[in-house]
Amino acid sequence: MDIVELLTADAVLLRAGVSSKRQALHDLSATAAALFGAADDRVFDALMEREALGSTGLGAGVAVPHARVEGLQRVCGVFMRLDQPVAWASVDERPVDILFALFAPPRDGAEHLRALAAVSRFLRSPERREALRAAQSADQILALLVDGAEARAA
């Protein structure tokens, strides 16, 4: 699975003024609900329930929150870069400024896992993370995500 299959241009966000993990998850869920036709409160609750099981902070300022959401037909994502990192209880205890949220249908196991693996693999690269942090617009971020996925496939 490629990241390109998970995102649309509307699903790439730059957010200033997010001051907490809860607020970041709320913004992700509101965007996902609007884009994918799901109920905002259900998406948020699903993300919060998953975080209660264990932090989705991977380290190096990256988190990949994910949840299963009723009504979805396929795995989809929302990317968010924060202007100021927020505390996340990541494995390395660093705050998070790069988030790639994934949403999957409730009974979709294999595709959800493939998407998690693809996003984690992509964001493992220090060069990619720094390029995402340096990007000046959502369009630049989308281009980096698309180009990086295409370069990996080549």
Catalytic positions are: 66
* Separation between Cα atoms, residue 41 and residue 54, nearest integer Å: 20
Residue with tokens 């099981």: 53
* Separation between Cα atoms, residue 146 and residue 154, nearest integer Å: 12
Q: Treating both helix axes as pointing N-terminal to C-terminal, what angle do 21-36 and 40-53 enclose, rounded to 10 degrees?
A: 140
Q: What is the 3-state composition of the chain as percent helix, strand, coil, each rounded to the nearest 5?
A: 50, 20, 30
